[in-house]
């Protein structure tokens, strides 16, 4: 294939020289040309003709200078948006995990929300361990949140006589979750200083030693029991439930909640494919370019999951605009539209009074370079044919 690509490039260079075609195809075109050259068994002359025709079609498909690409992108994403479901569905394949889909998710993406409704991660494993079920299960339990409640053999007992909370741990459950007994003990002892642990039996006396107000004390004891039950014994901050799934070739962990930075630092994780759906988090951990790619991926997945196909170029434009300042910015009042340089353009979008008032206080000047400003004052707009001017060359009679 490599040599065919080189051959195609050579022929393009020849054509450029001989016929002055000024061909500058993207790499994907050259690859496609090479593929069809092999597949269709073309002769050199046929390849030349194909390149000429492709050049003509490529030029036709180019966006003209002055074309309203932003408006077209807005319409192209907006119209399918009207057909999207307003409901949140379950994640395909893993019914237990709830992930925001459809219109709410699309709004979340373009609004660049810091706190998304259902953050989730897809965790992959490196080559040696992607089929090691034992390793994956152990890691899943390290990542996922477990509380004392998950490893109790029975419910917690409240002893009102001695004012103590009693709990029994279940060895089988601990074993199942691949937790470390020693670690659990130390966490309990660290949190509840007065706790005594004998084998699997835990006794924690109520904090309050003053027995003057017994009614108060019963409440204290119940609160203590809740605290014991909810004591987190393993897991990474921000991550709740985990779901272990095996697809055709490997084990994958899906999580509820997300903490990309800490997960990527763990051993055995594939730090090439492991991702989160939280775009801000990706921006912080992997940089603005990764965030841009993630916006494109998330928006495209959301749309295609609903059976809608939007040309990726529209979504790319949205992602480019959202990340052009180096941080992820939202489309709308608090982001792109709210930070336009023109006062009139901002006032025309939302919060008219606020913008006009602030502009007059600061003495802002409007250069009337944009579309909206010129519509407001009734001038031709700088778009399409309006974006070029005609000047007379007075020296040339």
Partner 1 sequence: MKIDIQDHMLVPKHEIMTEEEISEEFSDVDYEFKDLPKIRANDPVVEAIGAEPGNVLRITRESQTAGVFVTYRIVEG
Q: How far is the CB of 152 from partner 1 (least distance, A)?
A: 37
Among 42, 54, 285, 368, binds partner 1 (CB under 8 A): 285
How many residues touch partner 1 under the rule CB under 8 A: the total is 33
> Could you tell me the sign of the dihedral formed by the alpha carbons of 232, 237, 238, 241, in that order?
negative
Question: Which CB sits closer to partner 1, 230 or 325?
Answer: 325
Among 286, 359, 372, 383, binds partner 1 (CB under 8 A): 286
- 57 scored as a contact of partner 1 (CB under 8 A): no
Among 4, 9, 14, 29, binds partner 1 (CB under 8 A): 29
- 265 scored as a contact of partner 1 (CB under 8 A): yes
CA distances from 365 to 129, 342, 369 (A): 62, 8, 11
- 24 scored as a contact of partner 1 (CB under 8 A): no
- 275 scored as a contact of partner 1 (CB under 8 A): yes
Among 9, 284, 305, 366, binds partner 1 (CB under 8 A): 284
Extract the tokens encoding 290.
Answer: 């990764």
- 380 scored as a contact of partner 1 (CB under 8 A): no
User: Using CB under 8 A as the criterion, what x/- string covers residues 325-364 for binding partner 1?
Assistant: xxx-------------------------------------
Among 323, 330, 342, 374, binds partner 1 (CB under 8 A): 323
Question: Which CB sits closer to partner 1, 247 or 397?
Answer: 247
**Among the residue ranges 8-16, 132-140, 266-274, 367-375, the one whose residues contact partner 1 (CB under 8 A):** 266-274
Among residues 388, 376, 390, the alpha carbon closest in space to that of 66 is found at 388
Question: Which CB sits closer to partner 1, 29 or 135?
Answer: 29
Question: Which CB sits closer to partner 1, 172 or 271?
Answer: 271
**Among the residue ranges 73-81, 269-277, 329-337, 342-350, the one whose residues contact partner 1 (CB under 8 A):** 269-277
- 154 scored as a contact of partner 1 (CB under 8 A): no
- 389 scored as a contact of partner 1 (CB under 8 A): no
Q: How far is the CB of 339 from partner 1 (least distance, A)?
A: 13
Among 40, 172, 222, 273, binds partner 1 (CB under 8 A): 273
Extract the tokens encoding 362.
Answer: 């600061």
Question: Which CB sits closer to partner 1, 282 or 344?
Answer: 282
Residues 222-261 that bind partner 1 (CB under 8 A): 261
Among 4, 218, 231, 288, binds partner 1 (CB under 8 A): 288
- 19 scored as a contact of partner 1 (CB under 8 A): no
Q: How far is the CB of 312 from partner 1 (least distance, A)?
A: 5
Extract the tokens encoding 105.
Answer: 């998710």
Q: H/E/C letters for each residue in the chain?
A: CHHHHHHHHHHHHHHHHHHCCCCCCCHHHHHHHHHHHHHCCCCHHHHHHHHHHHHHHHHHHCCCCCCCHHHHHHHHHHHHHHCCCCCCCECCCCCCCECCCHHHHHHHHHCCCCCCCCCEEEECECHHHCCCHHHHHHHHHHHCCEEHHHHECCCCEEECCCCEEEEEECHHHHHHCCCCHHHHHHHHHHHCCCCEEECCEEEEECCCCCCCCHHHHHHHHHHHHHHHHCCEEECCCCEEEEEEEECCCCEEEEEEECCHHHHHCCCCECCCCCEECCHHHHHHHHCHHHHHHHHHHHHHHHHHHCCCCCCHHHHHHHHHHHHCCCCCCCCCCCCCHHHCCCHHHHHHHCCHHHHHHHHHHHCCCCCCCCHHHHHHHCCCCCCHHHHCCCCCCCCCC
Among 190, 271, 334, 354, binds partner 1 (CB under 8 A): 271
CA diameter of the chain: 112
CA distances from 201 to 152, 223, 385, 393 (A): 10, 20, 82, 97
- 5 scored as a contact of partner 1 (CB under 8 A): no
- 48 scored as a contact of partner 1 (CB under 8 A): no
- 54 scored as a contact of partner 1 (CB under 8 A): no
Q: Crossing angle, helix 69-82 and helix 102-110, to 10 degrees? A: 150
- 72 scored as a contact of partner 1 (CB under 8 A): no
Residues at the contact surface with partner 1, assessed by CB under 8 A: 26-31, 261, 264-265, 271-273, 275, 282, 284-290, 293-294, 297, 312-313, 316, 320, 323-327
């Amino acid at each position: 294939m490599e040599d065919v690509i080189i051959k195609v490039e050579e022929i393009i260079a020849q054509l450029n020289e001989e016929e002055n075609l000024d061909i500058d195809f993207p790499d994907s075109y050259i690859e496609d040309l090479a593929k069809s050259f092999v597949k269709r068994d073309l002769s050199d002359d046929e390849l030349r003709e194909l390149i000429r025709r492709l050049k003509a079609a490529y030029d036709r498909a180019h966006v003209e200078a002055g074309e309203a690409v932003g408006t077209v992108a807005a319409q192209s994403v907006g119209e399918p948006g009207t057909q999207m479901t307003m409901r949140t569905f379950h994640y395909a394949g893993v019914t237990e995990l709830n992930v925001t889909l459809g219109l709410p998710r699309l709004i979340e993406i373009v609004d660049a929300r810091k706190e998304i409704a259902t953050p989730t991660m897809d965790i992959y494993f490196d080559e040696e361990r992607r089929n090691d079920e034992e390793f994956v299960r152990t890691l899943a339990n390290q990542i996922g949140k477990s509380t004392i409640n998950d490893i109790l053999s029975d419910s917690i007992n409240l002893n009102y006589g001695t004012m103590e909370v009693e709990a029994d741990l279940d060895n089988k459950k601990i074993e199942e979750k691949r937790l470390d007994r020693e670690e659990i003990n130390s966490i309990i002892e660290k949190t509840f200083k007065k706790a005594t642990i004998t084998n699997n039996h835990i006794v924690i006396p109520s904090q309050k030693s003053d027995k003057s107000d017994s009614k108060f004390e019963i409440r204290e004891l119940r609160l203590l029991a809740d605290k014991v039950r909810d004591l987190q014994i393993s897991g990474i901050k921000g991550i709740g439930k985990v779901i272990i799934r095996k697809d055709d070739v490997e084990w994958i962990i899906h999580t509820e909640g997300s903490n990309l930075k800490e997960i990527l630092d763990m051993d055995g994780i594939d730090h090439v494919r492991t991702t989160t759906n939280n775009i801000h988090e990706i921006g912080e951990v992997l940089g603005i370019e990764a965030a841009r790619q993630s916006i494109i991926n998330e928006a495209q997945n959301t749309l295609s999951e609903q059976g809608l196909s939007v040309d990726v170029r529209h979504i790319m434009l949205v992602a480019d605009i959202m990340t052009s300042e180096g941080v992820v910015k939202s489309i709308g009042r608090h982001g792109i539209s709210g930070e336009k340089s023109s006062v009139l353009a901002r006032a025309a979008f939302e919060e008219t009074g606020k913008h006009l008032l602030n502009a007059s206080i600061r003495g802002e000047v409007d250069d009337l370079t944009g579309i909206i400003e010129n519509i407001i004052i009734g001038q031709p707009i700088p778009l399409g044919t309006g974006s070029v001017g005609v000047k007379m060359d007075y020296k040339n009679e």
